[in-house]
A and B are shown apart, each in its own frame.
Chain A
Amino acid sequence: MKLQTATRLGLYATLELARQPDRTLSAADLAERFGVSSHHLAKVLRTLSAAGLVQGGRGAAGGYRFTGNRRRTTLMDIVALFEPAPGQRAKEPGEETDIGGALQRVLTEIDEIAEATLRSISLETMLKPAR
């Protein structure tokens, strides 16, 4: 499964902040940790902030902290902020043909399994040491 860069960064940032909810990290701190530009990460953090998952201080030095619920937030909640919803996907050329339709049913099957997996893993489960 391929995630867009913004989705991956959204997951990284949320999990990193949720690891220690009382700690604040700036966009620059997080960007350095994951080896990406802080400009790119700032945009991702704004999306997470609008969703109520993180809260950010103002200015370049302002830090972000996790404000979501680790038990109730799943990986899918974060993925859905950045990836287009399955139902809102634009029709691909050829999808109306019988072969296109058959291929689409296979791809939908894969998507449903991926979504069930992402929806079943909470941040809490993700951050728990393997047992």
Chain B
Amino acid sequence: MVAIRPAQTTDLEAISALDARLTGSDKPAYWQEMLAPERHFLVAETDKGALAGFIAGEVRAWEFGQPAAGWVFAIQIDPKLRQRGVGSALFDVLVARFKQEGVTRVRTLVDRKDHLILSFFRAQGMVAGPSLQLDKELP
């Protein structure tokens, strides 16, 4: 079992390390910014105090013209501790916090080639949202 609690400065090193290991890009300053008070940055901790995973999100209003919704910015689970409900537990706590802020929708953006994370959000009941993401490489 894991315990879910808000992330603290002392978690940043483990968070950065787990993320860098999984994504190949080290971005400690980005994770530092997630500790901002308006954001929800949660960690799942094993009973031995090790980092099992984390999730980050925030309620944003009128982003891209959309009324307020809870946005999930990131989620990562230690590969050794997957398939045990850690991600779902983090998601549930984040969504409960979004609801406390009065929003009724949760939203995220996913790399469409990342089948693992797409499947995870699908399994949480998420479906295609109202926006289409567009993109262009600048000359």
Tally chain A residues at the interface, Cβ within 8 Å. Answer: 14
Q: CB distance A121 to B119 under 8 Å?
A: yes
**Who on chain B is nearest to A113 by CB?**
B112
Main secondary structure of the interface of B (DSSP, over half): helix
Bitwise interface map of A from 7 to 35 toward B, beta carbon under 8 Å scored 1, else 0:
00000000000000000000000000000
* Chain A residues whose CB sits within 8 angstroms of the CB of B5 once the complex forms: none
Main secondary structure of the interface of A (DSSP, over half): helix
Bitwise interface map of A from 22 to 58 toward B, beta carbon under 8 Å scored 1, else 0:
0000000000000000000000000000000000000
Bound: A22/B122 CA distance, A? 26
Interface residue? B128 (CB, 8 A): yes
Q: CB distance A74 to B119 under 8 Å?
A: yes
Q: CB distance B122 to A116 under 8 Å?
A: no
* Chain A residues whose CB sits within 8 angstroms of the CB of B112 once the complex forms: 112-113, 116
Q: CB distance B118 to A120 under 8 Å?
A: yes
B5 to chain A, nearest CB (A): 25
A121 to chain B, nearest CB (A): 5
Bound: A128/B122 CA distance, A? 11
